[in-house]
Amino acid sequence: MSCTETNAPGADKRLKVAIVSSVLPRQCGIATFSDKLSSGLEHLLGRKTTSYIALCRNEGHKYSAKVNFCIEQEQLEDYWRAADHMNQSAVDVVSLQHEFGLFGGEDGQYIVDFLSRLNKPVVTTMHTVLEKPTPGQYKTLIEVAAFSKAIIVMSQTAIKILTEVYGLEASKIHLVPHGVPDGFYIAPEYYKNKLDLTNRFIILTFGLLGRNKGIETALRALRPAVRRYSDILYIVLGITHPVVKAHEGEAYREYLINLVEEYDLQNNVRFINEFVDDETLDAYLGAADLVICPYHSEAQITSGVLSLSMGKGKAIISTPYLHAKEVLSAGKGRLVHFKDSNKMGEIILDLIENPEERLAMGNRAWTASKEMGWDQVSCRYAEVFEKEVEICNASKRGAPFENYLPKINMEYLKKLTDDVGMIQQTYYGIPDYTNDYSADDAARAMVAFSQYYNLFKDDSVLNLLDKYMAFIVYARREDGWFHNFMNYQKGFPTQEISQDTFGRCLWGLGAVSNLVLERIPGILAQTMVEESLPMLGSLTYTRAQAYAVLGLAAYLTMDPEHDGVKNGIKHLCDALLVSYMQTADGIWNWFEDFLSYDNARLPQALLTASLYLRNPNYLKYGLASLDFLIKVQYHDGYFDMIGNKGWYFKGKERALYCQQPLDAGALTETCLLAHYLTNDKTYLEMAHAAFQWYLGRNRQGKIMYDPKSGACVDGLSMNGPSRNKGAEATLSFVMALVCLYRWEFTGVPVE
């Protein structure tokens, strides 16, 4: 889209944008930003192309007609209803203005519920990017980013933090600066005359007041300057932040007023306790000879005050918070250490006494701000919006399901975990203690929870991982194999050795090895993986070989040069290739003459190995076997998984029921990996189709997963979804969902 085009999408189909934000007249900086963005987009695209979903806090504001839905901040149901409203609307794209304090729930989690129900493309502007987030803030940001097709930030520093601290894919991030009014530089005297401030040297701090504003530092810094220049007038413009006022009233403002009296600055400081309109703010900012940003918070990544001051060509003194350090470099402003009133006072005097330097500094800031005009900023937003809408429309291709993800809910799996481990079976979702515990489920849980932790850094799951790890250690036999089933009395009944159980346990141990290197369980898992290497030659079953490959590959992410592990992967994958070559005939391109359960893990193992060993045959035959699996199971727009009531033997009728959830999960992960390796969009479509089997895109159109409880049913029979909800099914769902989150967030489906 060219910025010179006023109606680029065409009058008959103009882009329609819904902005999720606080909205004027709510007294909030993000509300002001959103108002400017809306006006800029409508100037570019035409009237009535933007609307709002307003975040409210029971203030009773009278909003404009552009607000078509209100969300009370702490009412979760409002977020659900707003998403449903959006899904039924003609909106093309949702512009989310993200700030942690704007949304309800712990660390603003309710906005994730909104996004998880939305089937419109989302572009999120991140007004805060924390370099040292709490675990809850970290998780919320990652989930918001995963649901967003694109992320917009306002500084290079924000990009650096998102890529290095959060691991976000750089190609998903767009740098668009905070907008400023377009206009010419006008000397302060013009505005001083309008405000009756002639013959005064105006220093300005503006914005919502709170203790992090650091006004006391500026007041202390003024004392030596005022003794020399009595015409100084320091204006503090803005109301107390509504959240601050709700908690402590005007205590901070009163503290500042007392300081003014203590320092005898009554003739040199003026508090204007107003949330002013644009014209009034423009006048005060225009009148300023100097702007001070004495903030205490180093983590501030975006500052509208700073951007507006630069756009007005002002000389600026600021503490070195992240945004200021970036944009005031190269002489565009002066930085002073936090709470260093002495140094700030020296700089104030220097800039008063050197007007040429002060004007030159303001000119450098004004010149740099020319790329920040709202016309250009709005155009760049529109370009991002239009691109994501085009991608979204192209990906639909008439499919009956949208590519959206449920919110990750680990509560059901936590419910199935007791002091022993993961409970295998349930009665309609109630834990069934008459059935055995299994090492299979403990190992799957180790994979699922490790992958979840590695993405979200949620410490609450680490103690659960320790329980699963303890179960696997206890289940290990002296000969290196693993018992699978353990009864409620913590004994192991007589049972045959299971190669599949060994492979799954190795997969779980490899996942934990890659978890947190400094944790003892991770070190123990590494040791157990290495001790298991001599037994790999005993694995003759294809699925056991595949599970073991996935575990060894997870280990390699921690120690990529471990020759024993790499040789183990090679041995197992070569064995898989032998099986494939002996059975594949150009039509039945598979490793055996039957398809049973968890089928996609076999091509997944070869494709995963191709990442680490660079063997082209692993990639070639991994894709060939996956293509065969897709061809057999995908038809009429959905996946029809192989049923376990007879499976599918070559040359015979395939079983339609009971279809297994773990097949959908394995296909999701494998198709996503195939897309990553080949960039073939068909595999991406198949990944979403496989995952949507859980969500009703299946033979019966039945939903298999309950997002409220976090439980997945055990299978799809001819009578519909099973009423039981065991560990295996839910673990398979979580593993697939975390894989999709990782893909949406980082562009890489493997760790």
- Name the DSSP class of 597: S
Strands (DSSP E) along 279-333, which ranges? 290-293, 316-318
Evaluate whether residue 403 is within a structural domain.
Answer: no
Taking alpha carbons only, the member of 635, 650, 643 closest to residue 588 is 650
- Same domain flag for 120 and 43: yes
Average confidence (pLDDT) per 10 residues, the chain, 751 residues:
40 78 91 94 90 89 91 95 93 95 94 92 94 92 93 94 92 92 84 94 94 94 95 95 88 96 96 92 95 89 88 94 90 95 96 95 90 90 93 59 74 90 77 82 95 89 92 94 88 90 96 71 86 95 98 91 95 97 96 96 98 95 98 94 94 93 97 96 94 93 90 93 91 96 87 75
- Chain position carrying tokens 């695209």: 45
CB atoms < 10 A from the CB of 123, how many? 21
Of 396, 429, 458, which closes a domain? 396
Query: 351 in helix, strand or coil?
Result: helix
Q: Is 536 exposed, middle or buried (0-12, 13-18, 19+ CB in 10 A)?
A: buried
Dist. CA 413–CA 423, nearest whole Å: 9
- Same domain flag for 173 and 219: no
Question: Domain limits at 218?
Answer: 188-372
- Same domain flag for 137 and 35: yes
DSSP-assigned states of every residue in 203-250: EEEES-B-GGG-HHHHHHHHHHHHHH-TTEEEEEE-PBPHHHHHHHTT
- CA 632 to chain CA centroid, Å, is 35
- Same domain flag for 627 and 676: yes
- Same domain flag for 315 and 391: no
Dist. CA 460–CA 122, nearest whole Å: 29
- Same domain flag for 339 and 389: no
Question: Which pLDDT value is given to residue 244?
Answer: 87
H-helix or E-strand spanning residue 148: none
- Same domain flag for 380 and 454: no
The reported pTM is 0.78
Domain of 495: which CATH number?
A: 1.50.10.10
**Is the CB of residue 87 less than 8 Å from the CB of residue 71?**
no
Dist. CA 516–CA 495, nearest whole Å: 34
The pair of three-digit structure tokens given for residue 292, joined into one six-digit string:
């001070």
Question: Which pLDDT value is given to residue 13?
Answer: 58
- Same domain flag for 320 and 457: no
Largest CA distance in the chain: 99
Evaluate whether residue 283 is within a structural domain.
Answer: yes
Evaluate whether residue 405 is within a structural domain.
Answer: no
Evaluate whether residue 81 is within a structural domain.
Answer: yes
Evaluate whether residue 570 is within a structural domain.
Answer: yes
Taking alpha carbons only, the member of 339, 353, 282, 349 closest to residue 314 is 282
- Same domain flag for 559 and 620: yes
The pair of three-digit structure tokens given for residue 135, joined into one six-digit string:
């675990």
- Same domain flag for 421 and 387: no
Per the structure, the count of domains in the chain is: 3
- CA 108 to chain CA centroid, Å, is 13
- Same domain flag for 349 and 381: no
Domain of 263: which CATH number?
A: 3.40.50.2000
- Same domain flag for 219 and 289: yes
Evaluate whether residue 4 is within a structural domain.
Answer: no
**Is the CB of residue 343 less than 8 Å from the CB of residue 336?**
yes
Question: Which pLDDT value is given to residue 57?
Answer: 87
Dist. CA 326–CA 186, nearest whole Å: 25
Alpha helices in 416-557 (DSSP H): 439-456, 462-475, 499-513, 520-532, 542-556
Question: Which pLDDT value is given to residue 406?
Answer: 86
- Percentages of the chain per state (helix, strand, coil), in multiples of 5: 50, 15, 35
Q: Which residues does residue 178 pair with via DSSP β-bridges, in sequence order?
A: none
CB atoms < 10 A from the CB of 71, how many? 25
Evaluate whether residue 145 is within a structural domain.
Answer: yes
Evaluate whether residue 567 is within a structural domain.
Answer: yes
